[in-house]
């Protein structure tokens, strides 16, 4: 995708789900220390502690993330392709590499055939939401 192109259309954060659930295993002593900080009022709950810890780690490495996003030519945020977007690409004989740090999504009415004809590669650091048949079709193109 060439810079400045109107395809894909970037979505505002309010238009997409803002979080993804993850599961982690924490040592019992670490968990006890987290619970102690929560009970002493430093954090509202365990989730608040974990989110704060994650944000602090990301902030401390922000310049590395920024330079890597630039070097790898990733879209930062969210990127969505509708059936219409992909049909325009197909009709103009172009393909796209879906390279996103955040959320990449493909509309529910996109067929596996259309996805294969228009999406050359998929690299998503975060969440990739697409119909299961489209994900399966793109599996060999996904890194």
97 and 52 within one domain: no
Banded pLDDT at 20 (limits 50, 70, 90): confident
pLDDT, position 25: 96
Q: Is pLDDT at 120 greater than 90 in this prediction?
A: yes
Number of domains in the chain: 2
Decide which of 60, 76, 102 is a domain's last residue.
60
Residue 3 lies in a domain: no
86 and 136 within one domain: yes
135 and 73 within one domain: yes
Decide which of 60, 81, 112 is a domain's last residue.
60
Contact 74, 47 (CB under 8 A): no
133 and 105 within one domain: yes
15 versus 60: which is more confidently predicted?
60
Cα 2 off chain centre by: 20
Banded pLDDT at 17 (limits 50, 70, 90): low
Decide which of 20, 45, 60 is a domain's last residue.
60
Residue 10 lies in a domain: no
b vs e for 112-141, b when ≥16 Cβ sit within 10 Å of the residue's Cβ?
A: bebbeebbeebbbbeebbbbeebbebbeee
Residue numbers of the domain that contains 53: 28-60
pLDDT tens track for 54-109: 999 999 999 999 999 999 999 999 999 999 999 999 999 999 999 999 999 999 99
41 and 97 within one domain: no
Residue 15 lies in a domain: no
């Amino acid at each position: 995708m060439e810079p400045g192109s109107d395809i894909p259309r970037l979505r505002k954060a309010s238009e997409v789900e803002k979080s993804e659930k993850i599961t982690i295993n924490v040592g019992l002593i670490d968990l006890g220390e987290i619970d102690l900080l929560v009970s002493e009022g430093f954090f509202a709950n365990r989730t608040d502690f974990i989110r704060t810890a994650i944000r602090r780690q990301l902030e401390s490495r922000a310049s590395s993330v920024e330079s890597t996003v630039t070097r790898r030519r990733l879209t930062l945020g969210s990127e969505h392709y509708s059936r219409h977007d992909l049909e325009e690409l197909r009709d103009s004989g172009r393909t796209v590499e879906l390279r996103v740090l955040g959320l990449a999504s493909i509309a529910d009415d996109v067929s596996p055939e259309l996805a294969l004809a228009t999406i050359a590669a998929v690299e998503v650091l975060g969440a990739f939401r697409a119909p299961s048949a489209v994900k399966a079709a793109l599996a060999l193109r996904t890194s």
